[in-house]
Structures are given as C-alpha cells and as structure tokens.
Structure 1
Amino acid sequence: MASTQQRYMRRGVTRIVFVKTIAAATNIPTRQELTAGTDLSRQVSDIEGWSLENSPIETPDLGAKFATSIPGEDKAANSSLTFYEDLGSDAVETLLSKDTVGYVCILRKGDVPASKSLDVFPVRVGSRAPSYSTGAEPAKFKVSFSISDLPTLDAPVPAAAAG
C-alpha cells in the first residue's frame, strides 16, 4: 500500500527564531518564550550545520576480517547562519554579537502547534563577520555558533496562545 507523502520546500515554510531564555530544563520553549524571541527567517540567506554527528569507534577483533564499529561520541556539526545586511538597521548584528548566548529554534515544518518538528540548539555566538564581494550580489554577514549543550530535537511546537 503506497502512502501519500506531502513534500515541501523549506523556503517559505521553515522558521528560525532566536530565543534568549528558556526556563524548562528540557530546552523546549513555551509559546510565550517563542513569541518573545526574534524571528530571523526573513533575514537568513543561507544555513549550514544544525545537526548532530556521531564519531563511530572501530571495534576490530582477531576473529574477523571485517572491522565493526560501535556508536561513539555525539557532537554538533559546525553551525552558522548567513544573513542579508540591512542598510538601515543593525538589529540582527546587535542581537547576535560575539559571545551572545541563547537558543536557535528551528521550526522545520513551520509554526504548526503540536508538530514534532522543533529543534532547539543552545548556542553561543563564536564569530560574526561580513562577507565582502565585488560581485553584483546583496551584502551579507555570517554568524558562526558553538552548540553549547545537547540540542533538543523533534520537540513539539508549543500550542498557540489562546485568545
């Protein structure tokens, strides 16, 4: 039996929100915390990383020619966001200055309450640098993040505020 899969393009759907504080030990924001965050989606031109990688440990043994392995330590991929520069505002540069700590919340399937598509990365800004070019392209800058703790993946998007 074939199931119907609704495929989509991330552009226009996925949201990226920077949240300064999350009270829960689970690192899952409440609706109020998410709403208080800064939605960066419209300023992002490129995204890199934002995933966990595992470094397997080889476990060869004398009895076999095949070298097996077991899962080793997890680590976060080098992660960054590239933004369009704004000629009239430095709000994003100010928000994401070096050593700023907070949470990058990626709502993979958009802001769909209860969807288990929220990834939350505790971060610290490592660097922010302009991308210089003489080409006919928009001005941009890149912010590199250090993932400072275990990310919370596949969390439910918090329920919409009642009202």
Structure 2
Amino acid sequence: MPRFSRRGKTKLLFATTIASPDYIPTRAELASATKLTKAIAAVDGFALENSPIDTPDLESTFTSKIAGEDQAADSTITFYEDDTDDALETALAKGTSGFVIIQRKGDVPGSKSMDVYPATVASKSSTITVDNESAKWAAKFVITDTPALDVAVPAAGAGLAAKTTSDS
C-alpha cells in the first residue's frame, strides 16, 4: 500500500457559500474558495467524535457500550502571520460563517477524500512569543452542522483555479 505525507498533498480551503444542502461543493465553488494551505502552521480538530453510552446489565460484570451522540472536536487552524497582507485575517474574521474544505489527498477529481465542515469562526487571536519562531495567529472554529465526510472531489473544469491568498 503506497503511503504519503500530508505535507505537500493535503489542501485546505474556506468557502463562504456552498449551494448544496448536503455541503458538497461544485468545482466553481472550490475555485472561488480562499486557499489556506500555504499559510497553515498547524491544524487541530476537524473530526467527528462519538460519546458512547454505557449499557451495563445484571447478567455480566462487563459493561458494554452503544454509540451515543456525535459532535465535532474543538477545531483550530494556526496560520503564519503575514506582515504585509491581512487577507486571511479579513476572510476569517470572528463571526464569519462558511465551510472549511479539506482535500485529504489533494485536489484529485473523483477521489472520495474530501471533508466539508460547516463552521463559524468563534475566535481569532495572535500568538505572541519571544521564542525564535515565525509569528503566528489562530482561528478557532465551531462546527455548526454535521460535516460531509468522504465526499468525491468534483471533476476539474477548464481554466478554474482557486483564489489565491498568499499563494497556494
């Protein structure tokens, strides 16, 4: 089985609108989304978690479980701060709602490796440190509805390229 590194392959975008009620973007919606990948220092969360329910009974000392409610993990993207361009900070201002799109295996049309998280930026903060490292800021997201997971990346269209913010 071939393996790969997420670095250099996985793509993250932020779309302000997706028309489909199933949160599956069209190629045109992907093209108009803001590319986040090049500015990302770290990604945390963006996963579904289940809270299992204990189901003990008197017949056994073993406590079995059943699946309980699903909820999204706390989700944050940490970005490298740009000292001349604030386009990402503007696009991801506190209170902004949209969709975090993760193409886990890259922009590979037909690959069922795209996750779409309806989300709102809950907070945005700079990371201030005196350590010898690049300046960063973080956007914390609240996931507002059940994400669309493992959906197919739409077919590529001629001449469509995602809007660049600090390049790809």
Distance in 2, matches of 1:13 and 1:6, equals 14
Q: Who is 2:17 aligned against?
A: 21
Alpha-carbon displacement from aligned partner over 1:70-129 (angstroms, at most 9, x marks no partner) = 000000000010000000011110000001000000000000000000000000000000
Q: Give the TM-score of the pair, scaled to structure 2.
A: 0.93
1:33 match: secondary structure: helix
Size of the aligned set, in residue pairs, is 159
2:21 match: secondary structure: coil
Runs of 4+ in 1 over 3 A off after TM superposition: none
Find 1:6's aligned residue among 2, 23, 36. 2
Q: Who is 1:62 aligned against?
A: 58
2:137 match: secondary structure: strand
Q: Who is 1:52 aligned against?
A: 48
Larger relative contact order (CA 8 Å, sep ≥ 6): 2
Q: Give the TM-score of the pair, scaled to structure 1.
A: 0.96
Letter in 2 for 1:99: G
Shift of residue 158, structure 1, vs aligned partner: 0.6
- Pair 1:91-2:87 in alignment: yes
Find 2:116's aligned residue among 96, 113, 120. 120
Distance in 1, matches of 2:70 and 2:131, equals 39
Distance in 2, matches of 1:6 and 1:104, equals 27
Identity %: 50
Q: Who is 1:155 aligned against?
A: 151
Shift of residue 6, structure 1, vs aligned partner: 1.1
Q: Who is 1:35 aligned against?
A: 31
2:68 match: secondary structure: coil
Distance in 1, matches of 2:54 and 2:132, equals 48
For structure 2, the 5+ residue unaligned runs are: 160-168
For structure 1, the 5+ residue unaligned runs are: none
Q: Who is 2:165 aligned against?
A: none
Alignment RMSD:
0.7
2:90 match: secondary structure: helix
